[in-house]
Structure formats: C-alpha cells, structure tokens
Amino acid sequence: MKIGIIYTSVSGNTKELALLIHMLFKKENIAVHLYRVEEFSLNYLDEYDAIAIGTYTWGDGEIPFEMEPLYKAFEKRERKTVVTGIFGTGDSFYPHYCGAVDRFRDLLKVNTNLAVTLKVELLPQIQDIAQCEKFVDLFIKRINSSLKDYCF
C-alpha cells in the first residue's frame, strides 16, 4: 500500500497543514510519503494506492498554476480504485473560499474514490486539529474499506 501527500504552498499555511496531516498519519503508524508538488514526478502517480492533495487558492477561486499538471493528470485518468482526499487553506475574505479545494473535490469525486475534503482558514490553529484528525481517520477508514472490496 503506497500512500502520498502532494501539496503546494507559497506563504506556508498549506505546508503547515500538510505537515500536521502527515504527522497525524504517522501517529496512526501509517507510512506516508510527503512531497511538495514540484518534487513529485507524475510518472509515479499510478504507483500510489491513496493520495491526499493539499492546495491553497489563487486568483478568483482558482487552482495555483503549479497544481495544474496534477489536476490534468487526474482529469485524464479515471482511477476509481485510488483513494483520495483533498485539503487546503484559503481566506474567507475572498468570494470563493478555498475554490481550488472545491475544484479538485469535484474532479476527484468523479474520477477517484474521494474519501474526504478539508478546508482551513489561513494558518492552521489548535482548534483545527480535531478536523485534521477526522480527515486522517476518514481517509484511513476508506483505505481499509477499499481493501476489503478488492480482496476476494
């Protein structure tokens, strides 16, 4: 079982969220590879059984340009067996709060086995930890149930 977190971050908010989620997986004794999107080769995407994606939102509710190749890769392939989760940070000052998370969610819901979505306002705070734990818990539960589905 290969699990990855792929994230992007400019000012550090989404990086903190990705690190927190990564740490919570470790706490559950689940090995997860953590990558900034620039470090991740899309050639290896199909090797992963489960992927969590982390993104901030840019422009008017848009996906950051560096996440577009990843978005397009999921647009091209339908992989209903891969478990996914999408998380991100945004600023509710903007009309389309965490719009990039919504856009990934809509795509992953159709083309993958989307388990969970999480939006956090700017830098994660102590009160966000419970939601992050829930993200990890639901993600792991979905992996476990998908393993049962594919074990004949």
Ligand X SMILES: Cc1cc2nc3c(=O)[nH]c(=O)nc-3n(C[C@H](O)[C@H](O)[C@H](O)COP(=O)(O)O)c2cc1C
Beta carbon nearer to ligand X, 12 or 78: 12
Which residue, 27, 76, 25, 28, is CA-closest to 51?
Answer: 25
- Name the minimum Å distance from CB 91 to ligand X: 4
Q: Give the integer Cα–Cα distance in Å for 119 and 132.
A: 10
* Residue 95 C-beta: closest distance to ligand X, Å: 7
Per-residue exposure over 32-53, b if at least 16 CB sit within 10 Å of its own CB, e if not: bebbebeebeeeebeebbbbbb
Question: To the nearest whole angstrom, how small is the minimum distance from the Cβ of residue 64 to ligand X?
Answer: 8
Give the nearest distance from C-beta 34 to ligand X in angstroms: 14
Reported as half-sphere exposure (CB side, CA atoms, 13 A), residue 67 has a value of 21
Q: Which of 15/142 has CB closer to ligand X?
A: 15
In terms of CB distance, is 19 or 122 closer to ligand X?
Answer: 122
| Residue with Cβ nearer ligand X (103 or 142) | 103
- Point out which residues bind ligand X (CB under 6 A): 9-15, 56-61, 89-91, 94, 96-99, 122
Cβ 92 vs Cβ 55: under 8 Å? no
